[in-house]
Amino acid sequence: MSDERDMAAKSSWCYLIEGEAYPAARTALLAEEIELRRRFERVPEQRRALPPRGAVTGSCGLEGPDAPVSLARMFGAKQPPITYGWMFGPERQRPCPMCTHFQGPPHGIAADVAQNTALAVIARSPLRRVRDFAGERSWRNLTSVAIRRAPIAATIMGS
């Protein structure tokens, strides 16, 4: 932290009205902000340095538009796959309003996105409920997939 203190001490900010204690307190705060910013920048660096995850193999318990589907088959050769975890579980009367709000823009661009990558919306509700709600919203361009087994729900949805 001494490097941050040195940087903060070199700051030339001067306010017309500042008491005797203010400059030292401001310099200490600036040093903390510099250190926080460095920590903040380290996290994405660490995330990018993670080793690749394992390959998705076998059935993951997903129900696709026509039949059960694996992630590998659903996305095919299109990389990177993009999924949206829609908070619409079987215990909910209606899906999460914020999650629903965020699906409007992807619906509008889904045909363009599908030219270069695979895009799917994944929910825990039965596919019939997901499709019924999508029909209410006139969402025809998004591929909806339902999770049929609990183990994959934790992996995909973080629950």
What would the pLDDT profile of 58-112 be if each residue is shown by its tens digit?
566 777 777 777 777 777 777 777 888 888 888 889 998 998 888 888 778 888 8
State CA 21 to chain mean position distance. Answer: 43
pLDDT digits (tens, 9 = 90+) for 24-59: 888 888 899 999 999 999 999 998 999 987 765 656
Taking residue 56's Cβ as centre, other Cβ atoms within 10 Å add up to 15
What's the whole-model pTM score?
0.56
86: closest CA among 135, 137, 132, 121? Answer: 121
Does the pLDDT at position 14 exceed 70? no
Phi/psi at 121 (nearest 5 deg)? -105, 125
Q: Among 16-20, 56-60, 95-99, 138-142, where is mean pLDDT lowest?
A: 56-60
Distance CA 64, CA 146 (A): 7
